[in-house]
Structures are given as C-alpha cells and as structure tokens.
Amino acid sequence: MKQTALFLLLCSGLQAQQAADALKMVRDAYTNLSSVHIVATRTDSVMMPNSMGGQATTEYELAEAPGGKYLARMKNGENESLAVSDGSTTWKALPKQRRWAKLEAAAVSGEEDASDASDDDAKADTADKPSDLHDAAENLLIRRYLAIARVARAAELGKEENIKVGGEKFRCRIVRLQVGPAVDELWVDEQRGFVLQSRQTSRQEMGNGQAQIQITTKLKELDLGGDVDARLFSFAPERSWTEAEMLVLPGEDRMMLTGQKAADFALKSLDGEPLELASLRGKVVVLDFWATWCGPCRHELPIVDKLREEFAGKVQFLGINDEDNGTVKSFLRKNSYGITVLMDSKRTVHRTYGVHAIPTLFVIDREGVIRQHFIGGREAPELRKAIAEVLGVPSEPAEARR
C-alpha cells in the first residue's frame, strides 16, 4: 500500500515537472519571437442552462517583424478591419466600406521584459484590453500565452494529440491550468513550444442563470523568421477607395486626452536625476514620447529640439524614452540634441498616457491640463502654433515678426 502511494506521488511529481517544463517552452518561444505570421480563428461560445446559447467565430491575422513592422487583420462575417505598418507609416482600412487612412507613426510594443513583470501585471495581461487592432491581435495570439505561462502555479499535463496547422501535423501536449476564475487548456507544440490551440472555460452570472463561456483559439497558419513574407508590411488601397483623415476601426479605443488633467509621474533623467511632473506646475510642459529606432520620431525630434531653443525659459520640454541609457545618450550626443530625456524603461508612463504609437506629443498648460494631444509626426508650424496658443503668444517665430 505504501509502495503504491509512493509510486503515485512520484508520478504526480513527474507530471507536474513535465507541465512546468512545457510552460517554460511556451515562455521561451513567445519571449524570443522576432518575425512571426499567425492566422487563427477565435470561437466564442455561450452555453446557458435550458437554452441553446450562441456562438460567434472571428478570424485574426497577425504578422510582425523587427523595426516596428506589422500587419493586423480581423474578419467577422463580411466585416473586415486591417492595420498595416512598415515601421514608419501606419495604414488602417475598412475594406467593405472602401475607406482607408494613413498615419505617420510607428507602433510601440506593450510587452515588457518577462523578468520585470510582476504576477499582477501578468494576470492583467491575460484580459482582453485592446487599444487598437494590432494590440487586440497581439493580445490574443502572443501576449496572452506568455502571461499565462508566467503566472501558472499548478499545471497538469494531459494526453498527447496531433494538431494540424497549415497542412502539417504537429505533436502537442495538452497543459491544463487555472488562472483566476478561468480554466485554460493549451495544446503546446512539443518541438517549438508554441500554442497551436487553446480553450478557456469560465462561468458568468447572466439574467437566466449561470452561463458557461468558452473561448477556443485554433491556429490555421504559423510562419516564423525567414518564412514571413515581407510583402505583408506594405499597403496600397484600391483606386475606388476613399482616404479618410482619421479612421477608428471597430473595437478600437483611440484615447485622446485633450482637456484632461495630466497624470503625475516620477522618472529619472539620463543622468539619474529624479523629476516629478507635479514639480513643474505653473509652467507649460511638452511631453514627447519617442525612440531612436522610430523613423517619424527621427524626423520630428530635431523640430522639437529647435522649438525647445525657441521657447527657452517659457516651456519645459521633456522627452520620454523606454530604451537603454547607452543607446539614447549616444543618439543625443551624435545629433547634438539638448532636450531633457526621462527614462521609462518599464513603460509605466507610456501605459498611463495610452501611448501605442510614436511619436506622441502632449502640450500641458500651467494648471496641468492637457491642451494638445498629437499622435504621429508633425511639422514645425503646427507644433509651434499649439505651444504658442497655450502660452498665449503669437505663433510666428521671432524672425518672421521682424
């Protein structure tokens, strides 16, 4: 009897270790992604007691490559949304409506280094919190699995099963675990660690009783590295399509903060000097979110730096950057920029201000209220006018008024 109990205990311990190893493979696979192309279906099912319930299927496509390049697509029935970026320009389109828009901005990743994330951060990442189409697709197909693998404490290893993706069969181990109130099952590719199918089951109180909600995601295509087609990151509208000045795709949350109080924060400069936004109350402040790799940022930053010189003593210009100090110092030194840069390595301030594309620039008045919110690159006249209006001074440069 004791031998049987010991045998069962050893088996249980071995299975737990194998499940942990499988989740480590998931973490490694999604942490080290560089170029990827995924096509998948998500099926949401609601099952009510004594009723038929309902079901809806949506197809998602996500492609990403270094340099901020991406494609994100969502199709539900005849309705389709599309967002494409070549790293400098972002296009959005609604094919059925034959409408499209262009934005000179680069996407920034919302995923921090796994080693810097707390369990609470990871749990929050498992929820659907899309701010734009790219974010929604990345949450569903990449971040969610990385977050689940990070916070899992007690996982169970299930049977093996073959899953077909792109016409090819892959051997998977099923890992079952619980994160919060939901139970997740992951079909993990034994060779590469990618989740080729997942099923999340939870219960929720509804009007007629407790409903069972099931979200099933199945990959139809998975390409990695050199197999990702570079043509995915370009866009050309049909001739019959109409260009719009701004296009908000279904489900997006385009957060414009104009008129709202600027959230306080404390960051350190490149030289390690702490600075709180609240300490600048009584001054006009310009916050410029940028990165050295971002093409539109490299175009706009010299304009911002010249405006800093033009409004010296009247406006405090602050750059917000999430890269490493050495990269930023070298870039500023090489280009002789004098703007004060605050380091947001954990992207806390980026998230607080809803920054998902750069450059993003805020003009904050003396009372701490955001008066202008720009997403994407702007030229000197538009930025100068915005700053001058907050200051209450003429918008022409001094030499033009002579």
Tell me the β-bridge partners of 37. Answer: 63, 223
Give residue-wise pLDDT tens across range 193-236.
999 999 999 887 766 667 788 999 999 999 999 899 999 999 99
Mean pLDDT, range 282-305, rounded to an integer: 95
Task: Report DSSP letters for 278-330, one per residue.
Answer: GGGTTSEEEEEE--TT-HHHHHHHHHHHHHHHHTTTTEEEEEEE-S-HHHHHH
215 and 316 belong to one structural domain: no
Residue for token digits 């009372």?
A: 367
Query: Is residue 98 situated within a structural domain?
Result: yes
Query: Is residue 251 situated within a structural domain?
Result: no
Mean pLDDT, range 284-311, rounded to an integer: 95
335 and 383 belong to one structural domain: yes
Query: Is residue 6 situated within a structural domain?
Result: no
Residue 128 has pLDDT above 50, yes or no: no
Between 13 and 340, residue with greater pLDDT? 340
Q: Which residues constitute the domain of residue 206? A: 19-243
Which CATH number fits the domain that encloses residue 371? 3.40.30.10
Kind of pairing between the strands at 340-343 and 315-321: parallel
149 and 288 belong to one structural domain: no
Instruction: Give me the pLDDT at residue 104, please.
Output: 80
Query: Is residue 250 situated within a structural domain?
Result: no
Last residue of a domain, one of 211, 243, 275: 243
